[in-house]
Amino acid sequence: MADTALVLGAGGVTGTAWESGILHGLAKAGVDLSTADLIVGSSAGAIAGAQLAFGPAGIGDLYERQLAAPENEKAAGRLGPVTVLRYARAVLSSRTPEEYGRRLGALARDSRPGAAADERREMIASRLPSSEWPGRHLLVTAVDASTGALHTFDSTGSVTLADAVTASCAIPLVWPVVSAGGGTWIDGGVHSPANAHLAAGYERVVVIAPTASGNKVIVSPRAQAAELEAAGARVEVITPDAGTRRAIGRNSLDPARRAAAARAGLAQSAAHTEAVAAVWNG
């Protein structure tokens, strides 16, 4: 088996902020997860993962940025009641994550989100530490809008880091479908909130998942972690505690909640430091 893997899951704007707080708090306590042999990032986790893959200093910078007032950002995205209902219908009529992805991909291609595709990419690119892929092994997930299949981007392909992360963050019916590398893509979290199964074969795995639940077609982070453990891995899973859930509120896409989510992550990290260190340091 390979050695260490860090999995960073999906969870909107507040998910990135919370993950940055968790990672920053762990680093301050001496547990540096930037040393991972593999980093898997989905949606919110793709932004945090890209930052972390460039080294430990970057995660402190990412955390500090979450505390700034969102004065210059576009209006918050929102999963309104109609959108949530369309998601629910897609779940109920699907038997596999791929079928669910196809249904949401079809809905996303027919929708007209408020932000233009180029504006959305520019905003995502501004949140990344570099336009180039990092040297560390980073996988960024997205779902094929046509087939519903999970796909991973990395430094060996032709898709830029900015396009890969924008694709991974393309929440259906909220943000535009992303065209890159000859395909069309939607949010990597559509396949599962964490995609922790991509860490199969690694001995020590830490999963940080802003979205803790699954449904009848989407496997939860803890269920995926259990499968990794059954295969012989040591795994620690971190999901939001009660304080974090209060800080995030009802709209994980609201930039106004970002600072509170980041501080909640920093506070929560202390409760996990010992367990994460035990896994990470063998």
Q: Give the model confidence (pLDDT) of 244-271 as tens digits.
A: 999 999 889 999 999 999 999 999 999 9
Does residue 76 carry a pLDDT above 80? no
- Catalytic residue chosen out of the listed positions 43, 94, 168, 192: 43
Identify the pLDDT of residue 73.
57
Residues 6+ apart with CB under 8 A from 166: 120, 121, 124, 125, 178, 180
Asked if 58 and 23 touch (Cβ cutoff 8 Å), the reply is no
Distance of CA 194 to the CA centre of its chain: 7
Of the residues 187, 192, 254, 269, which is catalytic? 187
Q: In 3-state terms, what secondary structure has residue 25?
A: helix
- At 259, the amino acid letter reads A
Residue 111 has a pLDDT of 80
Between CA 168 and CA 189 the distance in angstroms is 8
pLDDT of residue 58: 84
Catalytic-residue membership of 187: yes
What is residue 216's three-state secondary structure?
Answer: coil
Whether 71 shows a pLDDT value over 80: the answer reads: no
174/19 Cα distance (integer angstroms): 22
- The yes-or-no verdict on residue 114 having pLDDT over 60 is no
CB 198 within 8 A of CB 152: yes
Residue 145 has pLDDT above 60, yes or no: yes
What percentage of residues in the chain have a pLDDT greater than 70? 96
52: pLDDT strictly greater than 60: yes
User: Would you call 37 a catalytic residue per the annotation?
Assistant: no
pLDDT at position 282 is: 80
With b meaning 16 or more CB within 10 Å and e meaning fewer, what string describes 214-232? beebbbbbbebbeebeeee
Amino acid identity, residue 23? L
Average confidence score pLDDT of the chain: 93
pLDDT in tens, 212-250: 999 999 999 999 999 999 999 999 999 999 999 999 998
pLDDT over 80 at 2, yes or no: no
- The whole-model pTM stands at 0.95
Two tokens at 220? Answer: 């939860």
Burial zone of 234 (CB within 10 Å; 0-12 exposed, 13-18 middle, 19+ buried): middle
> Over 80: is that where the pLDDT of 157 sits?
yes
The pLDDT of residue 217 is 96
- Dihedral sign, Cα of residue 229, residue 47, residue 33, residue 31: negative
- Please list the residues that pair with 202 across neighbouring strands: 2
SS3 245: helix
